[in-house]
């Protein structure tokens, strides 16, 4: 039993579940997340694997992170591993991670994986499901694999269409399939291309706060074009998180296309999501960058936004 009190909700560790069929690009995306995560952020990757460990875990380049390998097979065949227990061990350790990413097995249902973890200490940070543009239509129609592929996609908060560059049609058929799936009432996820880089910010920024329904219904994404744009606001002077938050709230109220923002400052972390600006304490070990990452629909006035942020914080 633990003796420490549960931390404040804002200090809960975000937990992202990355699902999708084997070969759909999950490991590539994990490596991108590890490579592009803010400096100093410690990410622990749980590989929830069933005998594919040589294929998956071995390929994860744990830049600043750690990898915990699990097997959740049938108890008759592999007694012992428990994702819940492994999460507990990491979160309650003296050096808990700043972020948890669970790479679900290719045959797992990601929403079932996302149900693990003490909610007083872990903040569900969304389910991202990779879809292989070259293979998803075949997998979805296959007698052995089809039902599970549909369930995986249906569970997603965000679908990431991968390998569009390798598909003969640039991924058009796969995108159409995804959009067909997302018309189902349970799924309202946007489809993003992995070649665009900004999904990393979206994923790392906190999926929980992203109103996926709003984005997916905003505008049908231009086929094969990433619908969002990102920019960086970096003031050359020291600035307090509260001041940034106040400025950001004002900018957001006049720029509806601005969807997400996040920045780590010396005295706190500033978020914008779903129209709300919040300031969280800066986690230990998260180096302040003094910068704000801004994500918005194309066509927004980024110069004006940066100008206003500067004007309001000086």
Q: What residues form DSSP beta bridges with 295?
A: 230, 260
Which residue number, 2 or 254, has a Cβ lying nearer to another protein?
2
Give the residue, chosen from 3, 4, 75, 185, that forms a contact with another protein under the rule CB under 8 A: 75
* 39 scored as a contact of another protein (CB under 8 A): no
Give Rg (Cα) of the chain: 20
Q: Which of 43, 45, 60, 83 binds another protein (CB under 8 A)?
A: 83
Nearer to another protein, 23 or 170 (CB): 23
Q: Which is nearer to another protein, 107 or 274 (CB)?
A: 107
By CB under 8 A, is residue 253 in contact with another protein? Answer: no
Question: Which C-beta is closer to another protein: that of 104 or that of 264?
Answer: 104
CB closer to another protein, 29 vs 122? 122
Query: With binding defined as CB under 8 A, does residue 107 bind another protein?
Result: yes
Residues 147-176 binding another protein (CB under 8 A) are 147-148
Number of residues forming the site for another protein (CB under 8 A): 49
CA distance 200 to 297: 16
| 8 Å CB contact between 17 and 45 | no
Query: Residue 78, interface with another protein (CB under 8 A)?
Result: yes
Q: Which of 10, 31, 145, 291 binds another protein (CB under 8 A)?
A: 145
Binding range to another protein, per CB under 8 A, among 8-16, 44-52, 195-203, 229-237:
44-52
Q: Whole-number minimum distance, CB 172 to another protein, in Å?
A: 23
Contact 101, 44 (CB under 8 A): yes
Q: How far is the CB of 133 from another protein (least distance, A)?
A: 16
Interface residues for another protein in 54-73 (CB under 8 A)?
A: 54-55, 57-58, 69, 71-73
- 44 lines the binding site for another protein (CB under 8 A): no
Give CA–CA dist 184/190, Å, rounded: 13
144 counts as binding another protein under rule CB under 8 A: yes
Q: How far apart are CA 264 and CA 287, in angstroms?
A: 7
Out of 76, 94, 95, 168, the residue judged to bind another protein by CB under 8 A: 76
Q: Can you tell me the distance from the alpha carbon of 254 to that of 230, in angstroms, rounded to the nearest whole number?
A: 18
Between 153 and 230, whose beta carbon lies closer to another protein?
A: 153
Of residues 21, 46, 199, 265, which one binds another protein by CB under 8 A? 21
Residues 6+ apart with CB under 8 A from 165: 195
Residue 55: CB atoms within 10 Å? 13
Which residues sit at the interface with another protein, rule CB under 8 A? 1-2, 21-23, 49-55, 57-58, 69, 71-85, 87-88, 105-107, 112, 115-120, 139, 142-145, 147-148
């Amino acid at each position: 039993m633990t003796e420490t009190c549960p931390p404040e909700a804002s200090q809960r560790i975000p937990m992202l579940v990355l699902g999708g069929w084997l070969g759909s690009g999950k490991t590539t995306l994990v490596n991108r997340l590890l490579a592009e995560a803010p400096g100093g952020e410690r990410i622990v990757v749980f590989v929830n694997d069933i005998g594919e460990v040589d294929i998956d875990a071995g390929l994860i380049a744990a830049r600043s992170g750690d990898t915990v390998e699990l097997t959740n097979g049938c108890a008759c065949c592999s007694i012992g591993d428990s994702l819940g227990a492994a999460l507990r061990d990491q979160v309650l350790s003296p050096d808990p991670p700043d972020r948890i990413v669970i790479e679900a097995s290719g045959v797992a249902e990601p929403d079932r994986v996302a149900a693990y973890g003490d909610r007083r200490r872990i903040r569900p940070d969304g389910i991202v499901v990779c879809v292989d543009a070259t293979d998803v239509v075949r997998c979805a129609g296959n007698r052995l694999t089809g039902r599970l592929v549909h369930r995986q996609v249906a569970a997603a908060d965000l679908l990431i269409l991968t390998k569009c560059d390798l598909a003969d049609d640039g991924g058009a058929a796969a995108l159409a399939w995804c959009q067909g799936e997302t018309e189902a009432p349970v799924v309202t996820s946007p489809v993003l291309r992995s070649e665009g880089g900004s999904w990393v910010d979206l994923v790392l920024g906190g999926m929980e706060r992203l109103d996926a329904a709003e984005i997916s219904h905003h505008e049908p994404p231009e086929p094969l074009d990433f619908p969002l744009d990102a920019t960086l606001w970096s003031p050359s002077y020291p600035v307090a998180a509260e001041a940034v938050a106040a400025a950001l709230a004002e900018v957001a109220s006049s720029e509806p296309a601005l969807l997400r923002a996040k920045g780590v400052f010396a005295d706190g972390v500033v978020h914008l999501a779903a129209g709300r600006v919040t300031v969280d304490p800066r986690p230990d070990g998260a180096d302040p960058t003094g910068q704000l990452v801004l994500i918005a629909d194309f066509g927004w006035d980024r110069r004006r936004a940066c100008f206003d942020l500067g004007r309001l914080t000086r």
